[in-house]
Amino acid sequence: MSEHNHQLATFAGGCFWCMVKPFEEEPGILKVVSGYTGGHKANPTYEEVCSETTGHYEAVQITFDPAVYPYEKLLQTYWRQIDPTDTGGQFYDRGQSYQTVIFYHSEEQQRAAEASKQALQDSGRFQKPIATQILPAMEFFPAEEYHQDYHKKNPAHYNRYRHGSGRDAFIERHWTLQKDQQELRERLTPMQYQVTQENGTEPPFRNEFWDHKEEGIYVDIVSGEPLFSSFDKFDSNCGWPSFHKPMNMSNIKGRMDTSHGMVRMEVRSQQGDSHLGHVFDDGPGPEGLRYCINSAALRFIPKAELEKEGYGQYLSLFDE
What residues act catalytically?
15, 292
Spatial separation of the C-alpha atoms in residues 157 and 146, rounded to whole Å = 13
φ, ψ at 274 (rounded to 5°): -85, 140
Instruction: Using DSSP bridges, classify how beta strands 7-13 and 100-104 pair: parallel, antiparallel or unpaired.
Output: antiparallel
Instruction: Give the sign of the dihedral formed by CA 28, CA 32, CA 38, CA 43.
Output: negative
Helix (H, G, I), strand (E, B) or coil at 101: strand
259: left (phi over 0), alpha (psi -120 to 50) or beta: beta
Nearest to 289 by CA among 224, 248, 236, 251: 236
Spatial separation of the C-alpha atoms in residues 147 and 266, rounded to whole Å = 31
Spatial separation of the C-alpha atoms in residues 15 and 34, rounded to whole Å = 10
Residues 99 and 90: beta-carbon distance below 8 Å: yes
- Tell me whether residue 306 is exposed, middle or buried, using C-beta atoms within 10 angstroms of its C-beta: 0 to 12, 13 to 18, 19 or more: buried
Residues 83 and 38: beta-carbon distance below 8 Å: no
φ, ψ at 124 (rounded to 5°): 75, 10
